């Protein structure tokens, strides 16, 4: 009977968390016992192999002896979530959120994710925001809030959250990808190009890299097209471009001219990748000249643009372009990368060490 009452009480607390902010954590966790460390490592390894049930059994062994081990509690909640048992994961994550621990923000992320997966997006949003109040610089809280807001068809709010996510963790590929996608779908063409370029610098060869590269190719290719019947080159000028992410109007206009130039006879002997490198180089030159040097508002202008301008100044546009085009299945790309490993490594080293600004 006592166990039943405890279960009912925990269920009541979980349900209460749906409707209000989570309470401040008051419990103190017990450190992982030395003899339990191999079990936790084993559980993580099993989880990584997709054996979630095996991982859960490992964590259960730890928690039988030490129910206040928040590391085992977090990992078990995570495994239940990956197993798509969102209710059990939520129960465990809520239990873990009662402890004052380094894992606390992670429990908030799990609670929010589970609520969203259980069809409770508004409760998920409340949870992420509660977590952000406590941990304002934890990028995963901002990222997951952004994802839920996208699902609620709130792209402007989602964009704000994802900009916070990339600010607090510039090395998180998914944040750049999702922000780039919002830029692209919102007709922010140059910001989409820059955000997707940054994503591909971090993750050049995966399933989602294919989509990011398609966005870049669309942005570059849409500016100028050639009529196969007449041979005429048509330049598209976007008069509806938004400027709240930075005024890239001159770059957009010139992108059409640059796109048209690739069809000229003087460029007929250049390969596709050589033309792309030339276009990106010229586009960045435009973004660094004249009025472009003037300070102006806009996140993409002040966050992404300096990264690419420094890349150009360091003569790294060519290795960047070949590196991000790996999913194109181009033999030219593969050959260039194999022959220029030193330049690629220099680019990756610089990119990893780049100091990203805090932009608001």
How far is the C-alpha of 257 from the C-alpha of 245, rounded, in Å? 23
273, 129: one domain: no
- Asked, for residue 207, whether it belongs to a domain, the answer is no
233, 302: one domain: yes
Contact by Cβ (8 Å): 336, 303: no
Residue 167: per-residue pLDDT: 98
- Asked, for residue 198, whether it belongs to a domain, the answer is no
161, 231: one domain: no
221, 104: one domain: no
* Residue at which a domain ends, from 142, 169, 196: 169
- Asked, for residue 96, whether it belongs to a domain, the answer is yes
- Asked, for residue 100, whether it belongs to a domain, the answer is yes
162, 22: one domain: yes
Residue 272: per-residue pLDDT: 86
145, 262: one domain: no
pLDDT tens, position by position, 4-47: 333 434 444 444 444 446 778 999 999 999 999 999 999 999 99
- Asked, for residue 269, whether it belongs to a domain, the answer is yes
Confirm whether pTM is higher than 0.75.
Answer: yes
How far is the C-alpha of 319 from the C-alpha of 338, rounded, in Å? 11
- Asked, for residue 190, whether it belongs to a domain, the answer is no
Better pLDDT: 296 or 208: 208
pLDDT tens, position by position, 57-113: 999 999 999 999 999 999 999 999 999 999 999 999 999 999 999 999 999 999 999
Domain that holds residue 271: 216-353
- Asked, for residue 242, whether it belongs to a domain, the answer is yes
% of the chain surpassing 90 pLDDT: 74
164, 222: one domain: no
How far is the C-alpha of 289 from the C-alpha of 291, rounded, in Å? 6
Beta-carbon contacts of 120 under 8 Å, excluding residues fewer than 6 positions away, are: 18
pLDDT tens, position by position, 213-260: 999 999 987 655 555 566 555 556 565 678 899 999 888 887 777 666
% of the chain surpassing 70 pLDDT: 84
* Residue at which a domain ends, from 108, 141, 169: 169
How far is the C-alpha of 254 from the C-alpha of 266, rounded, in Å? 18
144, 228: one domain: no
220, 341: one domain: yes
How far is the C-alpha of 77 from the C-alpha of 86, rounded, in Å? 9
CATH code: domain of residue 150: 1.25.40.10
Q: What residue has token string 């030395």?
A: 34
Burial class (CB in 10 A: 0-12, 13-18, 19+), 303: buried
Q: How many residues does the chain have?
A: 360
- Asked, for residue 10, whether it belongs to a domain, the answer is no
Mean pLDDT confidence for 139-149:
98
37, 115: one domain: yes
Domain count, the chain: 2
* Residue at which a domain ends, from 143, 169, 195: 169
For the beta carbon of residue 4, count every other beta carbon within 10 angstroms: 8
Contact by Cβ (8 Å): 39, 62: yes
Residue 92: per-residue pLDDT: 97
327, 234: one domain: yes
């Amino acid at each position: 009977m006592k166990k039943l009452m405890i279960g009912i009480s925990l269920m009541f607390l979980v349900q209460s968390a749906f409707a209000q902010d989570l309470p401040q954590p008051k419990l103190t966790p017990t450190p992982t016992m030395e003899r339990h460390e191999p079990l936790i490592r084993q559980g993580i390894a099993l989880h990584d192999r997709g054996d979630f049930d095996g991982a859960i059994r490992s964590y259960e062994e730890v928690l039988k002896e030490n129910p206040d081990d928040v590391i085992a509690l977090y990992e078990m909640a995570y495994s239940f979530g990956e197993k798509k048992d969102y209710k059990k994961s939520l129960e465990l994550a809520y239990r873990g959120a009662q402890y004052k621990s380094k894992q606390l923000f992670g429990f908030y992320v799990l609670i929010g994710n589970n609520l969203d997966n259980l069809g409770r997006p508004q409760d998920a949003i409340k949870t992420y925001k509660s977590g952000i109040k406590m941990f304002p610089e934890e990028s995963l809280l901002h990222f997951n809030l952004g994802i839920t807001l996208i699902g609620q068809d709130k792209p402007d709010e989602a964009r704000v959250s994802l900009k916070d996510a990339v600010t607090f963790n510039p090395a998180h590929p998914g944040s750049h990808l999702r922000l780039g996608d919002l830029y692209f779908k919102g007709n922010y063409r140059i910001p989409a190009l820059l955000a997707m370029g940054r994503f591909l610098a971090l993750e050049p060869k995966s399933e989602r890299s294919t989509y990011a590269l398609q966005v870049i190719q669309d942005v570059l290719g849409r500016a100028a097209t050639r009529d196969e019947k007449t041979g005429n080159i048509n330049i598209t000028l976007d008069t509806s471009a938004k400027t709240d992410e930075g005024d890239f109007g001159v770059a957009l206009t010139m992108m059409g001219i640059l796109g048209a130039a690739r069809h000229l006879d003087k460029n007929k002997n250049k390969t596709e990748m050589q033309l792309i490198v030339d276009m990106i180089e010229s586009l960045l030159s435009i973004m660094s000249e004249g009025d472009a040097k003037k300070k102006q508002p806009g996140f993409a202008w002040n966050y992404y643009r300096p990264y690419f301008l420094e890349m150009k100044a360091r003569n790294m546009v060519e290795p960047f372009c070949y590196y991000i085009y790996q999913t194109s299945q181009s033999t030219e790309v593969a050959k260039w990368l194999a022959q220029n490993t030193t330049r690629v490594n220099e680019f990756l080293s610089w990119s990893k060490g780049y100091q990203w600004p805090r932009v608001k």
